[in-house]
């Protein structure tokens, strides 16, 4: 730095406060003033390097964020697909159960009908035999 830059930098960094009788530290002003006075200074170069590094890090962070979002969406899509498959299987099982239940009801009704039919036939045969015995006829 040149002597002039140091003198101005000193006055920019430290401002005298008569009410407190002390110098106040103003760090931001020195950086901006130094960049304005001497753009080729090492502070300027360091700041540019830091800005480039920050931009690179921001870019990397943004890429990672995008990658994580993409992975998150893929996981959500796979989960949704599995849920749909599960629901479809559940519906098929419910449908098969319903068909099975209907078939069981149908068989139950048919069995009751057949049992009732057999009971009625046996009752008819019994009544026929009773009538034949009552009238003295030989049962056939």
Domain boundaries, the chain: 1-39, 44-140
The pLDDT score that the predictor gives to residue 46 is 81
The pLDDT score that the predictor gives to residue 8 is 41
CA gap 20, 14 in Å, rounded: 13
DSSP state of 139: P
pTM over cut 0.75: no
The pLDDT score that the predictor gives to residue 39 is 53
The pLDDT score that the predictor gives to residue 137 is 72
* Residue environment code for 109-122, b if the CB has 16+ CB neighbours within 10 A, otherwise e: eeeeeeeeeeeeee
The pLDDT score that the predictor gives to residue 52 is 86
Tokens standing for residue 109: 């009704």
Mean pLDDT by 10 residues, the chain (140 residues): 41 47 45 47 78 87 93 96 97 94 95 97 94 76
The pLDDT score that the predictor gives to residue 64 is 93
DSSP state of 20: T
CA gap 121, 126 in Å, rounded: 9
Compute the CA torsion angle 72, 78, 80, 86 (nearest 10 deg): -150
The pLDDT score that the predictor gives to residue 51 is 85
The pLDDT score that the predictor gives to residue 98 is 94
For residues 38 and 2, is the Cβ–Cβ distance under 8 A? yes
């Amino acid at each position: 730095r040149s002597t002039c830059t140091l003198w101005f930098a000193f006055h920019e960094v430290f401002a005298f406060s008569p009410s407190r009788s002390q110098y106040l530290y103003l760090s931001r002003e020195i950086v901006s003033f130094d960049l304005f006075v001497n753009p080729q200074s090492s502070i300027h170069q360091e700041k540019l390097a830091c800005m480039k590094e920050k931009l690179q890090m921001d870019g990397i962070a943004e890429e990672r964020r995008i990658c994580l979002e993409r992975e998150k969406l893929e996981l959500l899509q796979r989960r949704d697909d599995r849920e749909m498959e599960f629901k479809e299987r559940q519906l098929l099982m419910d449908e098969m159960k319903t068909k099975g239940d209907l078939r069981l009801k149908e068989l139950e009704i048919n069995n009751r009908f057949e049992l009732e039919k057999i009971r009625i036939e046996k009752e008819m045969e019994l009544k026929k035999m009773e009538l034949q015995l009552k009238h003295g006829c030989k049962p056939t």
